[in-house]
């Protein structure tokens, strides 16, 4: 029989506290899902980016939109910018890591599209550059970050900041937010008859 250590059980306690605070932000995920349905339903696209675990969350979001979240529906245009390894490594080599996402935003982003940037710290230089490029292109820039204030929330049109005590808790709640956005997106698509 194994003995549960306080650090392991404490993780659940930390998540419960953060989830309670996070629930008050549900209206943001609802609004983002509905706005995203209007943009993508009108032929626009979502560009998403993050580093490390946040890259995985960004790719999870785009997969749900191109594939499906729960029920079958048409595919929508959503690109995880880090997933094109040839472009990412070429840009990093030729222009520096800070330009990895910004250069792709300038290539793929159009006015009216959405750029979602995920960061537990809200301070990654490559995401800050991407936010600048997105705003310059006329995109809506949304940030899903850890505790505010942070530079990425200041440089975005809208931010959902997660007040988690650890990076792990922030990442877990980012996944919750991704699923909430997808649920709101699918409901809006269904209402629109797409």
**DSSP assignments along 62-96, one per residue:** HHHHHS-SSS------EEEGGG-HHHHHHHHHHH-
d(CA 119, CA 174): 9
pLDDT computed for residue 2 by the predictor: 66
Antiparallel, parallel or unpaired: β 158-161 and 140-145: parallel
DSSP 8-state assignment for residue 42: T
Residue 155: the pLDDT is 95
| Residue 66 and residue 76 in contact, taking contact as beta carbons nearer than 8 Å | yes
pLDDT value of position 186? 97
Per-residue pLDDT of the chain (194 residues; tens, 9 = 90+): 666 677 788 889 999 999 999 999 889 999 999 999 999 999 999 999 999 999 999 999 999 999 999 999 999 999 999 999 999 999 999 999 999 999 999 999 999 999 999 999 999 999 999 999 999 999 999 999 999 999 999 999 999 999 988 999 999 999 999 999 999 999 999 999 86
What is the per-residue pLDDT for 7?
75
End-to-end CA distance of the chain: 53
Question: Kindly report the CA angle at 155 between 153 and 160, in degrees rounded to 5?
Answer: 25
What's the CA gap between 111 and 93, in Å, rounded?
A: 28
């Amino acid at each position: 029989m194994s003995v549960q250590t306080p650090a392991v059980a404490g993780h659940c306690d930390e998540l419960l506290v953060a989830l309670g605070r996070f629930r008050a932000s549900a209206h943001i995920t609802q609004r983002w899902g509905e706005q995203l349905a209007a943009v993508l339903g009108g032929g626009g696209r979502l560009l998403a980016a993050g580093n490390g675990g946040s890259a995985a969350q960004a790719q999870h979001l785009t997969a749900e939109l191109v594939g499906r979240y729960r029920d079958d529906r048409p595919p929508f245009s959503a690109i995880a910018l880090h997933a094109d390894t040839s472009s990412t490594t070429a840009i990093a080599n030729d222009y520096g890591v800070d330009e990895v996402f910004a250069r792709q935003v300038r290539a793929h982003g159009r006015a009216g599209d959405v750029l979602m940037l995920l960061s537990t710290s809200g301070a990654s230089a490559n995401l800050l550059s991407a936010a600048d490029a997105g705003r310059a292109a006329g995109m809506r820039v949304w940030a899903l970050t850890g505790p505010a204030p942070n530079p990425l929330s200041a440089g975005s049109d809208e931010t959902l900041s997660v007040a988690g005590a650890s990076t792990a808790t922030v990442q877990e709640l980012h996944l919750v937010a991704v699923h909430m956005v997808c649920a709101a997106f699918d409901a809006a698509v269904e209402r629109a008859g797409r």
